[in-house]
Structure 1
Amino acid sequence: MSQALTLARPYARAAFALARDAGAYAHWSNALAFAARVAADPQVAGLLGSPRLTHADAVDLLAIDGATQTMRDFVALLADNRRLSLLTEIAGLFEELRAEAERVVKARVTSASVLGNGELEGIRAALVKRFGRDVEIESAVDASLIGGAVIDAGDVVIDGSLKGKLGRLQAALAN
């Protein structure tokens, strides 16, 4: 996995530079996400490695409708360099670069039960205050947490779950 990320990083940076210069972060995000989803399909993945697939066919298969010529050229470059299998990693790295440039923190809030909009907004406001950036929240439910929530915002993980508290209490008592 780390080798794939290492190989994908320069392509993600190049795509990001092209998107920045064109002022088209959202369009590039959509195009890369589409290409990554298509390339990740098991049937397509086998096809992408075939020497019978021309670069033009690969571009037609992976380019989103309405893709600019620059985007099509980018996919063609990936095909030329036999890097189409890295599209998932490239798309992920691109999103990280975009979030950093747009000063957005993406947070995942996993709770024991479904949180209401008011609760999510309160968490978002607290995270905005903590990070000094806009925060996009994705929520999930994991009943095994028993109560509370776990917030994963990049390098920061805040475990306010009952399961986490019990685990810390057990570790403290064991020492």
Structure 2
Amino acid sequence: MSELTTVARPYARAAFEFAVENKCIDTWSAMLQFSAEVVNNPTMAELLTRDKTADELGNLFISVCEGQLDEHGLNFIKIMAENGRLSVLPRVAQIFAELQTEQNKEVDVDIVSAYALSNKQKENLSKSLEKRLARKVNLNCSIDKALIAGMVITAGDLVIDSSASGQLTRLSNTLQS
């Protein structure tokens, strides 16, 4: 995965910088998402592994994406085909989305709780996290009864574990040391 990221990052950054300059971030996001779906198609994935020239692959890919890509998107695909990088398009789209989220000062926060949260609780959590993270927060809530009580909040590298099972684990580790 890390090698894939290393290859995809320069393409994603270049596409993002171009999209920002031309004020077409949403258009580029849609084009990259569509292209990623094309690459993820089993038939297309098989075609990408066959011995074909860069021109053949680029033309094949562009014919599949006809009407979904603008002139700049077509050029982007041609460059990726010339460099043999069409297979990393899903990761390019993912990094592009991360850059877009970063620019919008948004962060996705995963909240796993022992029980369903009420709308009021979600609202209070959202406000508190926005204050702490200095960003707009997009909550993704799920339930895991194994937590016993409390919740685990994950935002990027930040993890806040206030679950009963997490506290019991910490207590056990403390008693063992």
Structure 2 length normalisation: TM-score?
Answer: 0.87
* Distance in 2 between residues matched to 1:27 and 1:111, nearest whole Å: 36
Measured after TM superposition, the shift of residue 64 of structure 1 is 7.7
Conservation of the 8 A alpha-carbon contact between 1:13 and 1:94: yes
Segments of structure 2 that go 5 or more residues without pairing to the other structure are none
* Distance in 2 between residues matched to 1:124 and 1:67, nearest whole Å: 36
Deviations 1:10-37 (A, max 9, x none): 0010110121112122222222222223
Conservation of the 8 A alpha-carbon contact between 2:36 and 2:93: yes
Measured after TM superposition, the shift of residue 124 of structure 1 is 1.0
* Distance in 2 between residues matched to 1:60 and 1:138, nearest whole Å: 37
Alpha carbons of structure 1 residues 168 and 40: separation in structure 2 relative to 1, 3 Å: same
- For 2:62, the equivalent position in structure 1 comes to 59
Give percent identity, aligned residues only: 37
Structure 1 length normalisation: TM-score?
Answer: 0.88
**Cα RMSD after superposing both structures:** 1.9
1:144 pairs, out of 146, 153, 158, with 146
- For 1:118, the equivalent position in structure 2 comes to 120
Conservation of the 8 A alpha-carbon contact between 1:36 and 1:87: yes
* Distance in 1 between residues matched to 2:6 and 2:112, nearest whole Å: 30
Measured after TM superposition, the shift of residue 65 of structure 1 is 4.7
* Distance in 2 between residues matched to 1:112 and 1:34, nearest whole Å: 36
The answer to whether structure 1 residue 21 and structure 2 residue 21 are counterparts is yes
Q: Secondary structure at the match of 1:113?
A: coil
* 1:1-175 matches, cutoff 5 A: 1-52=1-52, 54-61=57-64, 63=65, 65-175=67-177
